[in-house]
Homo-oligomer: A and B are copies of this chain.
Amino acid sequence: MTLAADSEVDVLIVGAGPAGLMLATWLSQLQIKTRIIDKRSTKIMAGQADGFQCRTLEILDSFGIDRVWKESNHMLEVSFWNPDENGVIRRSARAPDTPKGLSRFTESVLHQGRMERFFLDHLKETGDRVRVERPIVPSLLQVDEPEINNPSAHPVTLKIQHLTDEQATPSQGNNIPNGLFRSNLTADDTDDLIRKSSGKEGTEETIKAKYVVGCDGAHSWTRKQLGFKMEGEHTEIIWGVLDVVPITDFPDIRVRCLIHSASSGSLMVIPREKRVVRLYIQLKEVGAGGGAVDRSKVTPEQILKAAQKIIAPYKLDYEQCDWFTAYQIAQRVSDGFEKFNRIFLAGDAVHTHSPKAGQGQNVSLQDSYNLGWKIGMVARGQASSEILKTYATERQQIARDLIAFDQKFSKLFSGRPAKDVSDETGISLEEFRNVFHQGAVFAAGLSVDYGPNILVVKEDEGKEGTVRCRPDLANKLKIGMRLPSHKIVNQSDALAIELQKLLPSDGRFRLIVFSGDISKPEIYSRYEKLGEYLSSKDSVVSLYTPQNSPRDSVLEVLTIHSAKRTDIELQSLPEAFHPLDKSKGWDYWKVYADDESYHEGHGQVYENFGIDRDEGCIVVVRPDGYVAATVAVADTKSLEAYFERFMIKL
C-alpha cells in the first residue's frame, strides 16, 4: 500500500445507502465540505428496501426530488385475507392503506436502487459538490480527544483503503444467481454502472474530519469501532422475499394484502412499480434448527412453493423474477448513537427490524435528515454544538418506538390464526387489524414527536427572558411534530400552494407569522409593529444574518394572513415581510392568504391549526420542518429568547 497525503474535510460519511445519501444531499445543499465513501463498487440495482412513507415523500419533495412519487406505485388499499370456517382463505376486510387526511402523499413503493439513483442525480445537478467515492473501506478510526471541543479542529482521523475491483465484490451479489443482481424489470440509468478507475486503487489515505457519520448498515464498521452493542432479539421465524411479475388469479395482487392461511403460514403482497409485485412469504421448512439462516440454501423455487401453499386455492406463478432473498428478523437497537458529539451513527447501523412494515429505509433516511442541518449549522459557525446532542435523544426514542411497533406487528403477522375464541395460542385476527390501523400514523412516519430540548419548546417557560411558548394559540398544531400542509394562496399572484412547499430543506429556520386579519386596523397595527421590529438592527433577523447576505438567508419570515386576499395590497405591507432587492425588485413569494383559491378550494389553515383568525400567532419552524415553538404575534422577546439558546451572534 502506498500512502496518499492527508486531507481535511468537514464531514466524512461512511456508507452510501439511503441514510448516507440523504446526509450527503443535506450537506451538499448547505455547501459543507463533505466526502462520502462506500465499499460497494456500484449502487443497489434491485431488491432491498422499497417502501416510502408519507413523511419520507414530504422530505424528498423538500429537496425538490419528486421522482420517487412520480415513478413509484402508490399503494392505496390494504386487504386482509383469513381462513374461513373451511380453512380456505377469504377477503375479510379492505381499508385505505394510508388514512385519509394525513399527508398530501400516500404510501408508495419503488425499489431502493431508483431512490439511490435520484439522490446521485440530484447531487450532480445541484452543483456536483459531493460525489460518492467507491469502492473504499475504512480501516482505522482515531479521535484526538483534547480537541473535541475546539470548533475549528478536525479531531477525527479516518484511515481508508481504496479497493481494487477484485477486492470489491458487491455484497448483495454473493448469494444471488447470475442475472438477478442487476434488475431487468425496472428502469434504471446506467452511467455509473461501470465504475471508472479512480487511479487510487490499492492505496491508503488518511482523512481528518470535523465529523464522521457511520451510515454503514447493520454490520456497521463504525459502530464496532465505537464499541456500541446492538441490543435486542433475533427471532426464529424465517421469511422469503420474491420480487416477481406474477401470473395469478388471486384478485388482490395489485393491493397490499395481509394473508393468514389456516396452517401454511402468512404472506404479504406489496404491489410495486411496473408490473412487479413483492411477496413476503413465511418459510416453515427452511432453517428450522434456529440460528442465523444460511441464505445460500434458499432458492426462489422453494419460496414460490411456500407462497403457492399459502395462497391456494388461487394459482400463483411467474416467468420473470427480479430479486429474491431470505432473512430472519432481528429486532435490535444500538446502545449508543454518537460519541464525543463528533462521531454519529444513522440508519441500519443503529436499528434493525422486520422489513414488512416498510419502515427501515424511511427511519434511516429520517435519522440523517434529522442530523444533516444540525451538523451544517454548527460547521458553518451559526449554531452551538449543543444542538448536535439532540440527534441522539430525538432519534433514539424513534428507534425504540420502531422496534416496539415491529415486535407487536411481526408477532401478530407471523402467528397462526386462532380457530375460534377459545384457541389461546392462535392470534386474533381482529387484534391484528386493530394493531395495523393503530399503527398507520406511525407507519406513515407522522407520529414522530420530538420531546422538549434546546431546539423544541413545548410550554411557557414562565419567566422573563425565556420563551413564553403559547401552544394554545395554535391548539391543533403539535409542537415537536412536523408542520402539516394545507393550501394557502399567494398574495401577489393568487397561486394556491401547499404550505410545505414554502419550507424547502435549505437550512433556514422559519418564522411563520399568522398575522390574523390585517384588513382590520388594530390587527394591522400589531403586524406593522412586528415589521418594524424585524427591520430593526436588534431583531433576531438582524442579529444572526451577515450584513452582506440577503435578509432571509438565515431566518425567513413568511406571512399567512386571514384577511380576504383582495382586501390586501402587498405594497402597503412593511418591507420586512416582502424584502426589496435592489436589482430584483420586491419579493412576491413571502405573503400568503388563508383564503379561497380560484381552482383549488380553501385550505382553511387557521382552522386546521386551531389558530384564531384575529389573534394569530408566530410559529417557529426548524430547518427540517418540525415545529419548534409557538409564540404570540407581539412577543418578539420570546423569539429572541428562543434563538439565544443555540444561535451564535455575529
A254 proximal to B (CB < 8 A): yes
User: What distance in Å separates the Cβ of A581 from its nearest Cβ neighbour in chain B?
Assistant: 9
A74 proximal to B (CB < 8 A): yes
Chain A 236-263 per-residue mask, 1 if CB under 8 angstroms from chain B, else 0: 0000000001111101011100000000
Tell whether A251 pairs with B569 under 8 Å between CB atoms, given A275-B585, A493-B77, A584-B275: yes
- Interface SS majority for chain A: loop
Do A566 and B271 touch across chains, with their CB atoms under 8 A apart?
no
A96 proximal to B (CB < 8 A): yes
Q: How far is the CA of A249 from the CA of B575 in the complex (A)?
A: 12
Do B76 and A495 touch across chains, with their CB atoms under 8 A apart?
yes
Do B571 and A249 touch across chains, with their CB atoms under 8 A apart?
yes
Chain A 540-583 per-residue mask, 1 if CB under 8 angstroms from chain B, else 0: 00000000000000000000000000100111000000000011
Q: How large is the interface on A (under 10, 10 to 19, 20 to 34, 35 or more residues)?
A: 35 or more
Tell whether A254 pairs with B493 under 8 Å between CB atoms, given A246-B585, A584-B245: yes
A319 proximal to B (CB < 8 A): yes
Q: How far is the CA of A250 from the CA of B584 in the complex (A)?
A: 14
A100 proximal to B (CB < 8 A): yes
Do B492 and A599 touch across chains, with their CB atoms under 8 A apart?
no
Do B495 and A74 touch across chains, with their CB atoms under 8 A apart?
yes
Q: How far is the CA of A254 from the CA of B490 in the complex (A)?
A: 10
A94 proximal to B (CB < 8 A): yes
User: What distance in Å separates the Cβ of A205 from its nearest Cβ neighbour in chain B?
Assistant: 33
Chain B contacts for A583, CB-based, 8 A: 245, 247, 319-320
Of B77, B493, B598, the contact of A598 (CB 8 Å cutoff): B77
Do A248 and B494 touch across chains, with their CB atoms under 8 A apart?
no
A588 proximal to B (CB < 8 A): yes
Find residues 242-301 in chain A having any chain B CB closer than 8 Å to their own CB: 245-249, 251, 253-255, 271, 275
User: What distance in Å separates the Cβ of A487 from its nearest Cβ neighbour in chain B?
Assistant: 13
Q: How far is the CA of A251 from the CA of B591 in the complex (A)?
A: 13
Do A271 and B493 touch across chains, with their CB atoms under 8 A apart?
yes
User: What distance in Å separates the Cβ of A163 from its nearest Cβ neighbour in chain B?
Assistant: 33
User: What distance in Å separates the Cβ of A267 from its nearest Cβ neighbour in chain B?
Assistant: 17
Q: Which residue of B lies closest to A318 (CB)?
A: B585
Q: Which residue of B lies closest to A255 (CB)?
A: B493
A106 proximal to B (CB < 8 A): yes
Chain B contacts for A566, CB-based, 8 A: 94
Chain B contacts for A584, CB-based, 8 A: 245, 247, 275, 319-320
Of B98, B570, B588, B598, the contact of A76 (CB 8 Å cutoff): B598
Q: How far is the CA of A492 from the CA of B252 in the complex (A)?
A: 7
Q: How far is the CA of A7 from the CA of B436 in the complex (A)?
A: 66
Q: Which residue of B lies closest to A105 (CB)?
A: B599
Q: How far is the CA of A505 from the CA of B106 in the complex (A)?
A: 28
Chain A 583-627 per-residue mask, 1 if CB under 8 angstroms from chain B, else 0: 111101000000001110000000000000000000000000000
Q: How far is the CA of A414 from the CA of B100 in the complex (A)?
A: 51
Do B247 and A493 touch across chains, with their CB atoms under 8 A apart?
no
User: What distance in Å separates the Cβ of A245 from its nearest Cβ neighbour in chain B?
Assistant: 5
Chain B contacts for A599, CB-based, 8 A: 76, 96, 98, 100, 106
Do A255 and B571 touch across chains, with their CB atoms under 8 A apart?
no
Q: How far is the CA of A254 from the CA of B275 in the complex (A)?
A: 44
Q: Which residue of B lies closest to A597 (CB)?
A: B76
Chain A 476-495 per-residue mask, 1 if CB under 8 angstroms from chain B, else 0: 00000000000000101111
Chain B contacts for A246, CB-based, 8 A: 585
Tell whether A598 pairs with B254 under 8 Å between CB atoms, given A245-B583, A247-B585, A493-B76: no
Q: How far is the CA of A585 from the CA of B599 in the complex (A)?
A: 40
Do A571 and B251 touch across chains, with their CB atoms under 8 A apart?
yes
Chain A 352-372 per-residue mask, 1 if CB under 8 angstroms from chain B, else 0: 000000000000000000000
Q: 5 A-B Cβ contacts within 8 A?
A: A76-B495, A245-B583, A246-B585, A251-B570, A271-B493
CB-based closest 8 A-B pairs: A254-B493, A96-B598, A76-B494, A77-B494, A254-B492, A247-B585, A319-B583, A254-B588
